[in-house]
């Protein structure tokens, strides 16, 4: 599972011109599910995203999580994060999970974040979406459950 996590002052997602998810301060998470991903990947990712200390404390240091700040989360499914553009001019998406495998894990990630007390808004799985992000900082991180040690989330 791969994610691009952005600290935002606001973010929204629309489908066919209608806003389907919108948050104020918090995190926008673009989430790609890889072939072979399992619930353990969703659990690792939810824990990591909710507990990342990328919000400033009173001293101006990135010491607070989105949970600490009572921020929200906008989760957007994005299979193109698994694209491989190393060869040729058109990316290969062979590493991305099939939709019937990816959708339940995307939903599980959102559910796990909600269980941690997050307000989670979502895009529409497999829809063409228009995402508006006001990146705060800017702070942007790339997380990959396959590259991480799960010993300490």
From the candidates 69, 79, 125, 128, give the one annotated as an active-site residue: 79
- Residue 62 structure tokens: 């990135």
Has 125 been annotated as catalytic? no
Q: Among 74, 77, 78, which residue's Cα sits nearest to residue 24?
A: 74
Number of residues in the chain:
153
Q: Which of 69, 80, 125, 140 is flagged as catalytic?
A: 80
Q: Are strands 119-122 and 72-77 parallel, antiparallel or unpaired?
A: parallel
Give catalytic status of residue 80 as yes or no. yes
Q: Distance (Å, rounded) from C-alpha 10 to C-alpha 18?
A: 17
| Residue of 78, 109, 125, 128 with catalytic role | 78
Catalytic (active site) residue 128:
no
Conformational region of residue 45, where left means phi above 0, alpha means psi within -120 to 50, and beta covers everything else = alpha
Whole-angstrom distance, CA of residue 124 vs CA of residue 147:
27
- Rounded CA gap, 130 and 134, in Å? 13
What's the rounded Cα separation, in Å, for the pair 52 and 134?
A: 19
Catalytic residue list: 78-80
């Amino acid at each position: 599972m791969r994610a691009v996590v952005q600290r935002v002052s606001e973010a929204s997602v629309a489908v066919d011109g209608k806003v389907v998810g919108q948050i104020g301060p918090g995190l926008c998470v673009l989430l790609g599910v890889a072939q072979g991903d399992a619930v353990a990947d969703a659990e690792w990712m939810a824990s990591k995203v909710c507990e990342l200390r990328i919000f400033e404390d009173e001293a101006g240091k990135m010491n607070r999580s989105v949970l600490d700040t009572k921020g929200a989360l906008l989760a957007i499914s994005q299979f193109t994060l698994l694209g491989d553009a190393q060869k040729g001019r058109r990316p290969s998406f062979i590493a991305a999970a099939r939709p019937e495998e990816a959708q339940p894990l995307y939903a599980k990630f959102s559910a796990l974040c909600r269980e941690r007390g997050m307000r989670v808004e979502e895009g529409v799985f497999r829809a063409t979406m228009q995402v508006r992000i006001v990146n705060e900082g800017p702070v942007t991180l790339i997380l990959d459950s396959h590259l991480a040690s799960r010993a300490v989330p």
